[in-house]
Structure 1
Amino acid sequence: MQLPDGIRKSANILLCLVAVAGIGFSGREIWQNLHARQQIDAGCGGLVPAGRVLALDRAGGRITHRRGEEGTIELDQLADEGAQGCELFSEKLGGRWFFTATVGVFPTAGFVVADNVISSPLDQEGGQTYPAQPLGGGITGSVDDLGVTVKLDCPGGELDGKSFDALWARAELHASVLWLEHGQPGGHDRNVLAETAVSTANNLAERLGCAERLPDPPTGIPALPEGTVPVGRTEGTCAWYRESGLAERDGFPDEALEGRVDDALWDERCALILTEAEAWELYYARAGDLELPSDPGEYGDWFITFHTYLGEDARRVKVPRIGDDPITAPHGTAGRGPDRAIWWASSTCDGRPQIHTMTIAHGYDRLLAAETEVLFRAYVTEITDRRGCTDLAFPESDSFRSPLDETTPLHDIT
């Protein structure tokens, strides 16, 4: 049936208007995309893949970058500062900060501080704790509750007359982004962040003249496990505790916060937690005899944490000290922190240095004083045997038996 001329003319006009509107909308989208890419390149030194950043769930509309000395990547400052980062904002989030990329080289002037005796490994804001996990796929990398960090070796590297032998890159979502799924990025964003970190590291390697490149990251990166597991179910970085039989002793932790084992990671972690009920039962049973300086407090306040720092991180480990700067824990040595229940040991694995630390929560250390040495030795022995390490330096027995300094109030412990 043929439409009357008037109706046909009106329909044609409507189609033209729709087409023009579509062209205008498409043009606006194209302009926004080009502007966003320009902003990402400008803020991130041309290192961060703009297309991957724009694929994040909350990247949309107008993208801008922070302007100023901090918040942009300046490679000419990388050698002096050791790290540079860029910060991006998304109109889709009302112009809020939503993404950060950071790059760096090793060695760096910074340092790593071992855990503090009052710094619980659990989220102290009441949220869930998500232990970091290895990225896998043949890449030295780590996935945590905000993003992905990867490392790439570059032996013999040089930047502005300063030598380096490795570089790293990190892609992360800003912590205030409320659309995180259950406190961590969703599956799509985890994959995008891994791709972004790897591409950024490879771009930096090319810019600095490094020969090596990272392979594509694995797809389908699993969500991080939520919280602790009973020690009887440990299979990763805390499995040594279950296998040693120490978990069966009275007063020892009954939960663990662990990651999967990856011997290439720069920081392998295991945290052991005494559940609240067990902690208070232990306190009422023994506190009178020992005159403990504090009670168990809340869930997670009585803990034992273990770290093994590998490679360049092992050269930068410091132990916290009350009211003063932290002290260095040099590779090739072993000892105890000057104030609290923090010990370190060292070893060498495939020619690379390792520092091992153990931190026991304030107050809880008194209850374990007779067995702290066997606990730390069990941890160090397992990881050095597993990695085939040598040149073990372990603290003297007297360092475990010596009385603790309990004269400083908790609020002065830093």
Structure 2
Amino acid sequence: MARAQQEGAARRVYACAETFEGQVELPGGIALFGGLDCSNAWSWIGETDKTTLTAPEGEIPLVMRGGDGAARVEDVHVTARAIDPSNETARGLSSIAALAESVAVEMARCTLEAGDAADGRDGEQYAEPALAGEQGNPGIEACSGARTFGGDVKRNECGTPDDLSDDSTGGLGGNGTPTEGGAGSPGGPEGTGGLGGLGATTLECTAGTAGDDGLPGEPGPSATGLGTLSSSGYAGLSGTAGSPGTTAKGGGGGGGAKGGSGANQCAPESAGGASGGSGGPGGCGGKGGNPGAPGGASIALVSLDAELTFDDVSLKAGRGGRGGNGAPGQDGGNGGLGGPGGTVPAGIEGLNPGCSGGPGGKGGNGGNGGGGLGGHSLGIAYRGKPPPSSGLSVETGEAGPGGTGADDSGAAGVKADTLEFAP
């Protein structure tokens, strides 16, 4: 091709009726004549044996662009390889025989044949649930001081350390004093979790209540539309990721117990009652499910603002790839257990233990990812000037179905002789 561009007026390339491996780029102003018997005085046998151009999986064997004038091709069979369905690294690849971009193209006695495209990649699933809450902190034993402090707040940092809005906290346990037990505080975030238990006066304390579970995320929409054409070929559309679940609320802190001194009770200087355990923090919300990727397309010819002229040209397309399925969202993390209340030492009579904190709720599961777009099976995919309706025959395969989402599926690919794409 480079020599033909330098040769001046002739600007012709003659090819044996053999198979050539690797992408060929044909500029405007160059004519490629195939179907020649190189072992027999370069006689023309293109009626029975043509020059074959092919390339590795996923590459376009014939690209026509640039140059000055029309690119002419005669007696050539262009074959884009089918994508091996067992090749996991080739998921979503298209099979495209030829691409013409901003050039006049004249073809005679040619076949452009695309193989089956690859199925799209399914959304990757999460191996582990979101971060679970830890158990709340325990209360302090009775008779440990004039006042015992409740179990400290336990936090589950579901977001960044500087952003507390999606953290979950267990409520503070109630204090214990000689005359009464303090109430536990509500769980978080921002005091919206389980209620704190009541502290003891003459009655026993109460445990903190459980935090509410997080809300599940919304499923992501599945893919719709046609995809896009570009100088590198075709690109389909993925589904949309699901939204994350919300963080669960933390459990309320347990109430503290009344202390006391005297016979068989605490010493006067350490007569505080047992304090309550703190609430368990809630689990983190699960991340949104990963979307399915698009299936590859099988296209005989992609035309980008090209002017096409055909004479006895056959266009063949294979099967479009299935769109990838959207993955389930990540499971929300489990809530932490409430911290146990402080105990009463052996031999002490008439005093009650502190009460336990409430458990944290379970984080909301992430929403399911949307399904990917199914792959097309097209004779000509074009943008700009419509292709001619004469001088050609078209055979197409089946379009690929869309990948599944939670409530819907991605749009199926299109099976058509020609299909126009947006600029």
Whether TM-score is above 0.5 comes out as no
| TM-score bucket (shorter structure) | under 0.3
* TM-score under structure 1 length normalisation: 0.19
Higher normalized contact order (CA 8 Å, seq sep 6+, divided by chain length): 2
Higher helix share: 1
